[in-house]
Structures are given as structure tokens and as C-alpha cells.
Structure 1
Amino acid sequence: MKNLLIGLLALMIFSCTKNAEQSSTSAPNKDLAKVFDDYYEENLKLSPISATNQGDNRYNDLLPNDISQEFIEKSKAFYTSYLDKVNKFDRESLNDEDKIAYDIFKREMELQLEGYKFNGELIPFQQFWGLPLTIGQLGSGDGSQPFKTVKDYEDWLKRVSAFKVWGDTAVVNFRKGIAAGIVLPKSLVVKMIPQMYDLVVSDPTKSLFYGPINKLPKDFSDVDKTRLTEAYKKAIMTELVPTYKHLGDFLKNEYLPKARTSSGIDALPQGKELYTFQAKIWTTTDKTPDEIYETGLKEVARIRGEMEKVKEQVGFKGTLDEFFTYLKTDKKFYPYKQPNEVLDAFRGILTKIEPNLKKMFNKTPKAKFEVRQTEKFREASASAEYNSPSVDGSRPGIFYVPIPDATKFNLTSGMESLFLHEAIPGHHYQSALQQENTNLHKFQRFNWYGAYGEGWALYCESLGKELGLYTDPYQYMGALGDEIHRAIRLVVDVAIHTKGWSREKAIKYMMDNEPISEQGATAEIERYMAVPGQALSYKIGALKIRELREKYEKQLGSKFSLAAFHDEFLKDGCMPLSVLERKMDAWAAKQK
């Protein structure tokens, strides 16, 4: 009897193990793949600018009125339908790759639907992002909207006409927001007004939107050149200029007097609940705002300790605050005269790290990469940023650097850490490898989660010494400045939106704890006011990646390969941190 029971138990264990192995190695579920493919295709029509940004030009003439009630109801039905479809699948019967995709997809559908209850359309845009700013980037001729064929030029004119409708709806929605007590802070509205008026011109040839005409392809016929030139002049003066003037006048005369004096969204109806939701969206965790705040305080204290060590290393005899002032004001930290000198310095960083990159990554992107100066129309208020390459290879990955005045570009601003974050191996490796992995479902190839993507980029800053950088103590100080900046975000973002901190108090806290100008601190704090929770994603993500790396280094010992860890991390693209940890734990178990 005893032997029989042991035999049965062994059979059960074998059966369970076999089933688990089948689950991990079984073929992809074709029906599930069709749901994902259908979703991706339908979603491109709902979000045609996303399609354009990805290099898919089928919908370059479309610009849906995505803040209208009709569009919102259509979107709700869309997400509900796909949540219903994915819920019909048995997760446990899927292979490992499909489980990852299933978990990402289901969470995304649920959160999209949950978000509608907060009526985000009542604040259609702000000074940091929104369609009026995106249209400027697309229509300049230097963005992702292509201007290569006659059809390309005609596609843009259709988008311009649709933008006028969107602008009218934005005003209607702002007014509904006023009535509901859902309005922006005054300090943000003050920044939005000149953004609108800057695009109001009396001469169409002086407009940002005349850029494509200045670059008309030589192979266009004279008839087309003349026709398109006149059509663009007309669109600028009869559609674009009136729309921007209408938005500017409304914001100045009607909205600004009704804007709020408070800084945080907890002052709005459902504000506290909305912030918890935004923290969940951006960190992809269930961490509470209070937990995040406490993590921020600890990290700020730790990094300040590292800064004290650098101050001692260079022999500076004052306080840390005085050291910050020295770094911001001493003339030797401002060596540049022309924008190209700044851009060349960034290009030199890539040359320096290339030998060590090969030791830390087995797989690197095929996409090309460039460093460019940010366009003039937006560089005064822009941050350094990365734009992903197009899938077809026609547009490289681009690291944009705003340089309004090269003589004011500070050498100690963390140039090396900024490059590691925005360029290589940060956003460029992560974004390009994700897009290039054709084994992923398309919705995964073009997916984005801040905690993963920004977390990775911030983690890459911590690789500086391993990559041969930070040998100059001032560049390392710049890197610590960048790191403490992300830690400060955890403190001020939560404090503004849940603890009653004013804009001014948050600006002071930031300036007290990092070498940043008042202008820089103000722009940062106003960004957090405009996009609650987004700033939390960087540090929360980076801490998780570092935690996983250290865990596997300890578990695996000599079997741990940093390059293999990085490759596995990047292999399946952006995902929530909870999904990521399950995936990486499974990878580590296989390494044993």
C-alpha cells in the first residue's frame, strides 16, 4: 500500500512537472495572437499619430477629435470589447511568452477603462504636452510626419483641418471643466498662453508650419509646387493661425481668471483618488503615495552623502549648498561657444563607452542613432529627450539636446549621465530593440511603460563607472545630481498632490537638494503639477532593476552574466514591473 501511494505521488509530480513544461514550451496560441493583432490594427486608427510616430503612414491624414464625447464612448466600447475577448482565454494553458503578453494586455484594458471616470478630457492639454504642441512638432517638417511625396503634403492639410475642430472642442471642454471645478493651476496657464501666441503670424512664410514648403522635394512638378505652396499659405492663415489665436485668447481672457491657486490635484473633485490611480499607472506597482514619499526621503539622504564625498575629493571648503552654487556659477564650467561644440561633446561620450558596451550587451539595435539640437520653436521650454527610430529604418533614433544659448550650457550638468539615459544604452537600446523584435506581438513592440522604460534609462546612468565614465569628479557629481533629481521627484510629486505643498515650497526643496537654477526647478515642478505621477516612474523602476540585478548576482554567483541579464531584461520590451519580476525570476531559475 505504501509503495502504491508513493508510486501514485510520483506519477502526480511527474504529470504536474510535464504539464508545467508543456505550458512553458507549447506553441503560441493562434487565437490569442489574432486578438492581439486585431487590437493593434484597430488601435492605430483610434490613435493615428501613434501610427505616424511608428513609421506606419496609412493614417497620416487622420486626426480624430479624441476629446469629444463621441470619441470617448467609442474608445470605451473598444477597450471593453477587447477585455471581454482576452478574458475568454485560460491563462494557465498559455506558454510563457503568451502569459507575459496576456498579463500586459489585460492590465492595460482594465486601466484604460478605469481612467475614464476621472474625465481627463476636461483638461485637454497643458504646457508640458498635448495636441497643440504635438501639431507643432509634426507640422514643422522635422518631426515624424513625412513630407516626401505629394500625398504626404496633402495628408498634412487634412490633419490641419481636423485640428481646427479639435481646438474648438478643447475650448468647450475647458469651459465644462470650469463648471465642474476641474481646472489647471494659474502658473501653468500663464505658460500656455505664449505657447499659443508664438504660433500666430501675419506672414505665412514666417510660420513654423511653412517648414515643409521650404523643403519641397525637387522632383515635384512646378504645378504641384505652386499648388501646395498656396494651399499651405491658406491653411496657415485660415485654419492654424485662427485656431492658435482662439486658444490663446480663451486661455488669457476666460480660463486664466478661473484657474486655481492650488498646486496639487488633491484640490480637485476625486483628486486624491486620481493621484493614487496615476501613481499606479506610472509606477506599475501598488505602492501607496506615502510609501513612495518615504522612499524618496531615504534616497535623497543617501545621495547627499555621496555628494559630500565628491565635495571633499575636489577640495571644496564650503557647505554642500555652497558647492551647488559654485557648480552653477564658476565660469570654468561654461566652456562652450557654439551649439555644435555641445553636440560634439555628447558624440564623444559614445566613442568613449563603445569598447565597454560590448562587454555588457550581447544584442544591440540595428537602428541608426543621431545627436541633434532641439528645434528652435520649442527648445526654450524643452528638456533633452529621445525620439524612437521608425520601424522601416527611414528615421534614426534621435537624441535631442536643447541649446538656446551654448554659452550657458553647464559642463557639470551631468552630460555623461544624460547621454547614458536618453541615448545609449538607455532609451535607444531599449526602444529600438523592442521595435526590432518581430517575435513580439505588435502591441508589445510599440508598448510603453514609464517605470520600465524610464526605470531602465535611469538604471543605465548607474552603469557609468562600469562603462568607463565618471572619471572626472565633476561629471560624477553631475550624475549624482541627475540621480538625486529623480529621488527628489518622489518627494515633491507626492507632496504637491497629497500633502498640500505649494509650488513655491516644492521649488525650494528641489533647489536646496540639488544644483539646479530657479528657472530649471520651476519648469520641473510645473511639469509635475501638469502630469501628476509621471515623475515617479524613473526612480521606482530603476530601484527595482537594481534590486533584481543584486538578487541574481547573489543567487547565481559565478553563473551570473551581466550581459545575459541585460539581454533578458530588454528581450520582451516594456511591461509592468510585477510582470517583469516574474519573468526575470524564471530566467534566473533557468541559469542555475
Structure 2
Amino acid sequence: MKKTILLLACSTLLLVACDSQNNTARSEGTANQDFRATETAEDVTVIADDYINAMADVHPLYLVATGLAADYGISNTAFEDISPEATARFEAAEDQLLSRINMVDPDNIENRNDWVLHQSLKETLEASIQMRVCKTPLWSLNHMSGWQNSLGQIVPLQPVSTAEERTDALERWAKLPAYLAHDRANLEAGLAQGYSAPKRVVARVIKQLDIALATPPAESPFIGFIKNAEDAPEFSSAAERLVIDKLNPAIASYRAFLNDTYMPAARDALAVTALPDGDACYEAFLRLFHGANIGSKATFENGQKAVAANMAGLLDRGEEVFGTRDLGEILAQVKDAPGNRFETEEELISFTRDQVAHTREKSEPFFSALPEQEMVVEPYPDYLKGTGQSSRYEPTEAEKGPATYRINTDDWAEQTRGEAMVVVVHEGWPGHHLQLATFTEKGDLHPAMKLLGSSAAVEGWARYAEALAEEAGIYHNVYGEITRRAWPARGMVGDPGLHAYGWTNEETAAYFIETGNFNEETAEVLLDRMAVIPGQLTGYDTGGLEIFALRREAEERLGDRFDIRAFHDHVLEVGMAPISVIRANVEAWIEEEAAQ
């Protein structure tokens, strides 16, 4: 139903890498300074600056995506470098940073924001180091957040207001062919060592490349920045020549490699356990997305309990409305209910756009304040349609305009209004947009917190928001209420089922189809997503269940003094921190309130 937003895909999976030669040291004097045997609380911010410097050295475009490029001196020509040397350099920096962060006694940190920063850095570094067993650069081919779509989100951020900036833009994007050559070398090394993406994923990427190559050069997604320089026709012509002479030939060569060499050698299995050290790799992915060391066994079992509870609630609601407790019949009646389907793709888009103001208004009483940034709804560009994308939220800095809910309309004919309402809540108000725009506007956390996000925190909040929307009266009818109960927590079961418990593709697909949210085709899309981002699907309800548990704890401890707005404030004020940090912050608030 959703995807890993670029914000998390880049930082945690390290699927996009870097060109160091265009990046000088930032936060002058911190990157190579000597540090004491025992770091102090005041040094946490210095360590965080050095973490950003390390990211800037190897992942400059990630800093562009998160709005930190200007503050950390990222050149407008800096690009990604996925060479083994760059990977080794970043890993060495991580090792040193973790050693330093472990020298700080968290009990000596009095400032709450510094404590949040310390705990978030520690968890992020430990999880990233654990991820090394996966050797993800060797099988980075990815139809969800690979270079062919993640770079497309960076292109519009390229400054082109001046002649110098326009020269820089051409220089930056002329580096794409070298990047593709590095990626091909990594993929070839992966094949030699037994690492590959699944064949089905390779086919999806090839389809994306075919559509991009068929796009008129002037409309190439890799020079989309020319739309911001319409008064410079010579620049637009030069960018078009870049596509014709360099970019498209390099993409075509890369595509031929995938089709002729990589595809025949790629793996058939979707489970990550088909790769070397696959079991350890899956556990590492789970920690990465959870922001906590929970593991596959607990995830699977907790998911089964949550699914059972959700099903009981769904059947109760179905019996109340339709007079039956048969799951299939309830879901069929919801699907076929008059007025619950769309006649056209445009009707789905228009309906979703119309709900943004409605969901914002209904959310307002549950929060002390709402962020001012707006959110718009836009479909995917043509070159990504029909290639297995999920709806997603694309954040941006408030001063640069509204954030975007990128809606997937591939299966519009199967989509219901109830389902559409659940997704717009998840992506917008009171889901991702409210959480991430609040964090962006807050401004009192260290900039490194933009790089330390936990999928369980981000997706968990959005899952919690789906239930809060019912409480707020956002859903127009019972269809959304029934629909939202069918799917939650299934990812906690189906994902480890596929990757850790030996479920077949068919068994996993059937488990998801049972919810009514998927048919055979869309279930296959979900399985391919699970193949390239193992464990991510479990983060939604791992985080959501934690927020629900914290709310119950607060309600029980505080009784009539419980304030839903204050509770939400304390969940949101630590941004996208790991769920263990959110729990500690909320429990501290509960103790303070209970003591008064």
C-alpha cells in the first residue's frame, strides 16, 4: 500500500552512493579533530556534525534530498560514487563514530534534544554496521528506490537560476554514465560472489529503462531541471544534447547488460535467504527498519496476534453492517457497494485531492498545532507507471513549496473509495505529512536527525493515523473502517513468512489476497517489493503497535488527566527517532504528569 520514502531508502539501505572528489570538509575543524578518551555530552553535537560530514563525503545527493546541501557545502556538481573504495571509506567513518558515541554516558546528557540525538545516532550506526553482512551494493538493482527513480526525485532540486548554476547542472548530470559503469561493476562482482536481484525485479527495472529511453530527450526525467530555466533556451538545448549524446547511450548500454548478462544469472527466489548469509541479512534488515533489535520470531508472533485481533474487529463490524461473519462475503460486499468504485483514473485522482482539505480539518482537534506546509496529490510520471510503484509521500522543505503525495493509479479500476480514503490518511493528514512537516517546521533538533529516521517510527505513525482517522470521523462511511482492519499487521506475518519461515510465493500472495486489498496481480507487485526491501513491510505495524501501546499506558496512568493533544506532541517532538527513543520520551512525560 505504500513504499519506503526516499528519506529512509537512501539513509538506511545505502542504495545510492557517492562521488567524494567534489566535496570538501564541512563544519570546519570537526571532521579530523582529536577527541578525548571520554567524550562529554557537549560532544554529541560534534559527533553528529561529523556523521553528516561522512554522509556528505559519500552520499552528497542524500543531503540534497534532505535539504542539508547548502549548510554542509555540497557542490552543485557533486554526484554519487558507488566504488568499493567509497564504501570502505564510509564504513571506516561509521566505526569511528560509533566508538565515539559509545564514549558518551547518556546519563550525563541533560538536554532532551541531545539525548534524542545520542540515542538515534547509536541505533543508526549499530544497525548500519550490522547491515554489512548483506553486501547490498552487490545486488542494488531495485525497481522501488533504484537510481532510475530516486535520482528523478533529485533532479528538480538542481539549482539553475544563474549561468554558473546551469553549468554546474550539466556537469553534475554528465556524471551519470560513470555512475552506471560503477553500478555495473558492482553487479558483476555480486554475480561472481553469489549475489543478485530476483529475475522478476530485473524485468521491472528493464521496463522502467525502456520507458525512459522512449521518452523524447527534451522530456527526459534526468534533465527535468530545465523546466526551472525556461528563459535559457541555449541551456535547455545543451541539456537535451547531453541526453542524446551521453545519458541515453549509457542507459541503453546498462539496459543491454541487464537483459543479456544479468537476467540469465539472476536468482529465481524472492527470499533474501537465497543469498549468502541470508538469514543474518534478514535479521539485519529487520533491525534497520525497526530501529530496535526485535528479530523475526517476535515480529512474526506479534503480527499473528495483531492480525487475529484485527480480524475479530472486522468480523464484528461486518456482522453489524452486512449481517454475516464470513470474511470473503464482507469484503465482496464492500468492493461491490454502490458508489464505492471509480469510473476513471482521473476520478480517483480528483477524489483524493478533494480529501486533503477534509482530512486536515478533521485532524485539527487532536493536535496542539498543525504544520503550515501544504500537500498536493500527483500521479507518477509516465516512465514509472505500470512498473510496480506504490503510493508514497515525498517530503520537501516548506520554503520550497508543498510536499507531494505521489499516488499510484495503476490499479484504479480495482480501487475503492474506502481504500483511497485509508491511503490518503496514511500519506497525508494525520499521517506522513503531518508527522514529517511538523518535524521539518520544528527546527530545534540537530540537522542529523533528518538522516536518522526509523521506518517503524515513520510508517508506525501513519498506521496509527489510520485508526485515529476513524476516531476523528474522517472516513465518510463504513467501507473505509472495514477496509483498514483487513490489512494491518499482515506485513509482520507475511514478510518473515517469505524470508524466514519458508513460505512459498503462492502462500505469501494468498495470505495478502485474503485481505481484499490485493488481487493476483497486485499481490505479485507486493512480493517484488518485499524482495528488494526485506523487512520494511514489518515496520508499519511494529511501530504502530508501539504507539498504540504507549497511548494505552498513558490513558491508564493519567485517567481523566490524559490529553490526546499532549500525547501526540510528545510522540511527534522527537521526529523520526527510533521507536525506543519515542517510548522513552513519552514515558518520561507520563511520569512527569503522573507526579503532579
Cα distance, 1:297 vs structure 2? 2.0
Q: Indicate the residue corresponding to 1:529 in structure 2.
A: 531
Matched, 1:367 2:373: yes
Classify 1:217/1:316 alpha carbon distance in 2 versus 1 (closer, same or farther; 3 Å): farther
Classify 1:534/1:95 alpha carbon distance in 2 versus 1 (closer, same or farther; 3 Å): same
- 2: distance between equivalents of 1:166 and 1:476? 46
SS in 2 for 1:513: coil
Classify 1:357/1:330 alpha carbon distance in 2 versus 1 (closer, same or farther; 3 Å): closer
Q: Indicate the residue corresponding to 1:182 in structure 2.
A: 195
- 1: distance between equivalents of 2:371 and 2:451? 15
Cα distance, 1:215 vs structure 2? 5.4
Matched, 1:402 2:415: no
Q: Which aligned pairs between 1:165-314 and structure 2 lie closer than 5 A?
A: 165-201=178-214, 204-205=217-218, 207-209=220-222, 211-213=224-226, 216-218=229-231, 220=232, 225-226=233-234, 228-314=235-321
Shifted more, 253-262 versus 413-422: the winner is: 413-422
Kindly provide the CA deviation profile for residues 475-512 of structure 1, in whole angstroms up to 9, marking residues without a partner as x: 2122224xx2x411111110111122222221122112
Residue identity opposite 2:236 in structure 1? T
Cα distance, 1:449 vs structure 2? 0.7
SS in 2 for 1:591: helix
SS in 2 for 1:400: strand
Q: Indicate the residue corresponding to 1:444 in structure 2.
A: 449
Q: Which aligned pairs between 1:552-571 and structure 2 lie closer than 5 A?
A: 552-571=554-573
Cα distance, 1:43 vs structure 2? 2.5
Partner of residue 105 from structure 1, selected from 121, 126, 145 = 121
In structure 2, the gaps of 5 or more residues are 1-39
Shifted more, 541-550 versus 438-447: the winner is: 438-447
Residue identity opposite 2:123 in structure 1? R
* Higher alpha-carbon Rg: 1
In structure 1, the gaps of 5 or more residues are 1-27
- 1: distance between equivalents of 2:209 and 2:344? 31
- 2: distance between equivalents of 1:558 and 1:330? 40
Residue identity opposite 2:505 in structure 1? R
Partner of residue 487 from structure 1, selected from 486, 489, 493 = 489
Residue identity opposite 2:186 in structure 1? N
SS in 1 for 2:322: coil
Q: Indicate the residue corresponding to 1:122 in structure 2.
A: 138
Q: Indicate the residue corresponding to 1:538 in structure 2.
A: 540
Partner of residue 517 from structure 2, selected from 515, 519, 523 = 515
Cα distance, 1:205 vs structure 2? 3.3
Contact 2:127–2:291 (Cα < 8 Å) also in 1: no
Q: Indicate the residue corresponding to 2:397 in structure 1.
A: 390
Identical columns (%): 24
- 2: distance between equivalents of 1:551 and 1:350? 31
Residue identity opposite 2:168 in structure 1? D
Q: Indicate the residue corresponding to 1:161 in structure 2.
A: 174
SS in 1 for 2:470: coil
Cα distance, 1:383 vs structure 2? 1.7
TM-score normalised to structure 2 length: 0.86
Cα distance, 1:318 vs structure 2? 8.9
Classify 1:509/1:88 alpha carbon distance in 2 versus 1 (closer, same or farther; 3 Å): closer
Contact 1:266–1:272 (Cα < 8 Å) also in 2: yes
Contact 1:201–1:207 (Cα < 8 Å) also in 2: no
Classify 1:206/1:50 alpha carbon distance in 2 versus 1 (closer, same or farther; 3 Å): closer
Matched, 1:68 2:83: yes
SS in 1 for 2:377: strand
Kindly provide the CA deviation profile for residues 380-403 of structure 1, in whole angstroms up to 9, marking residues without a partner as x: 332221111215x11222222133
Classify 1:558/1:327 alpha carbon distance in 2 versus 1 (closer, same or farther; 3 Å): closer
Q: Indicate the residue corresponding to 1:424 in structure 2.
A: 429
Classify 1:90/1:312 alpha carbon distance in 2 versus 1 (closer, same or farther; 3 Å): closer
Residue identity opposite 1:240 in structure 2? L
Residue identity opposite 1:460 in structure 2? A
Cα distance, 1:439 vs structure 2? 1.8
Contact 1:417–1:461 (Cα < 8 Å) also in 2: yes
Cα distance, 1:274 vs structure 2? 0.7
Q: Indicate the residue corresponding to 2:12 in structure 1.
A: none
Contact 1:434–1:571 (Cα < 8 Å) also in 2: yes
- 2: distance between equivalents of 1:387 and 1:313? 38
Classify 1:327/1:517 alpha carbon distance in 2 versus 1 (closer, same or farther; 3 Å): farther
Cα distance, 1:147 vs structure 2? 4.5
Classify 1:318/1:147 alpha carbon distance in 2 versus 1 (closer, same or farther; 3 Å): farther
- 2: distance between equivalents of 1:64 and 1:138? 11
TM-score normalised to structure 1 length: 0.86
Kindly provide the CA deviation profile for residues 406-457 of structure 1, in whole angstroms up to 9, marking residues without a partner as x: 6x26234522221221111211121112122222111124531101111011
Contact 2:492–2:538 (Cα < 8 Å) also in 1: yes
Residue identity opposite 2:134 in structure 1? F
Residue identity opposite 1:49 in structure 2? L
Cα distance, 1:49 vs structure 2? 1.6
Contact 1:60–1:156 (Cα < 8 Å) also in 2: no
Matched, 1:80 2:95: yes
Q: Indicate the residue corresponding to 1:453 in structure 2.
A: 458
CA RMSD of aligned residues (A): 2.5
Q: Indicate the residue corresponding to 2:384 in structure 1.
A: 378
Residue identity opposite 1:528 in structure 2? M
Q: Indicate the residue corresponding to 1:497 in structure 2.
A: 499
Cα distance, 1:316 vs structure 2? 6.4
SS in 1 for 2:397: coil
Kindly provide the CA deviation profile for residues 195-245 of structure 1, in whole angstroms up to 9, marking residues without a partner as x: 122222485235344544455333x4xxxx22x233212211222212221
Contact 2:299–2:493 (Cα < 8 Å) also in 1: yes
Q: Indicate the residue corresponding to 2:67 in structure 1.
A: 55
Classify 1:159/1:324 alpha carbon distance in 2 versus 1 (closer, same or farther; 3 Å): farther
Classify 1:504/1:351 alpha carbon distance in 2 versus 1 (closer, same or farther; 3 Å): same
Paired positions, count: 550
Matched, 1:475 2:491: no
- 2: distance between equivalents of 1:328 and 1:283? 33
Contact 1:282–1:451 (Cα < 8 Å) also in 2: yes
Cα distance, 1:458 vs structure 2? 0.6
Classify 1:547/1:180 alpha carbon distance in 2 versus 1 (closer, same or farther; 3 Å): same
Residue identity opposite 2:149 in structure 1? L
Cα distance, 1:188 vs structure 2? 1.7
Classify 1:313/1:434 alpha carbon distance in 2 versus 1 (closer, same or farther; 3 Å): same
